[in-house]
Amino acid sequence: MTRTARLLIVGPQGSGKGTQGARIAQALGIPTVSTGDVFRANIAAGTPLGEQVKAITAAGNLVSDELTGQIVRDRLSQDDAAAGFLLDGYPRNLRQVQDLDGFLAERDAHLDAVIELSVPRAESIERLALRAKEQGRTDDTDEIIAKRLAIYESETAPILDVYRERGTVDTIDGVGTLDEITERIVAALTARGITRPAAV
């Protein structure tokens, strides 16, 4: 029986981590903490943060560690995240891993599992191109997609080595139907004793 479900989902752009993260969080009854969602909501609302983020992402760049960390720490300090959460989009580099470690250590906590969605590069590019067409997303041009995948491979992929050393990574085949992939993730978490807590 698990005490908490503090999770991180990692995968290249187009791996489906946003969709799978939301499904897993709902199944476990924990909040999803997606930096992308927070940023997009601010852009849509035209807030100062949104305008700042819009300019950064339009150029294909990533929001600074400092700004991202501030937003995540604020969200994880809220009551609904006390017993568990699913992080999507943070930490995305080694510095952010250290920041998150420090934040959780202050609360005598740690990540219980890291879900790595493994998807071939060609599949990611194909999915992103389709999404750009369907959703009319201006941040999904071929050039920006290639830049983002390169950043993922150079900055984000190395964090998995840190978590592998801790024995917390479950690598999941991210190719298949939505339900098949969700079932693979649930099975891996169940094997770790991470299941939805019984209603109190």
**Do residues 20 and 182 make contact, with C-beta atoms less than 8 angstroms apart?**
yes
> Is 75 considered catalytic here?
no
> Is 137 considered catalytic here?
yes
6, 23, 75, 92: which one is catalytic? 92
> Is 164 considered catalytic here?
no
**Do residues 8 and 106 make contact, with C-beta atoms less than 8 angstroms apart?**
no
> Is 147 considered catalytic here?
no
6, 23, 148, 184: which one is catalytic? 148
131, 147, 192, 196: which one is catalytic? 131
17, 75, 127, 184: which one is catalytic? 17
107, 133, 137, 164: which one is catalytic? 137
Which positions are catalytic? Answer: 17, 92, 131, 137, 148
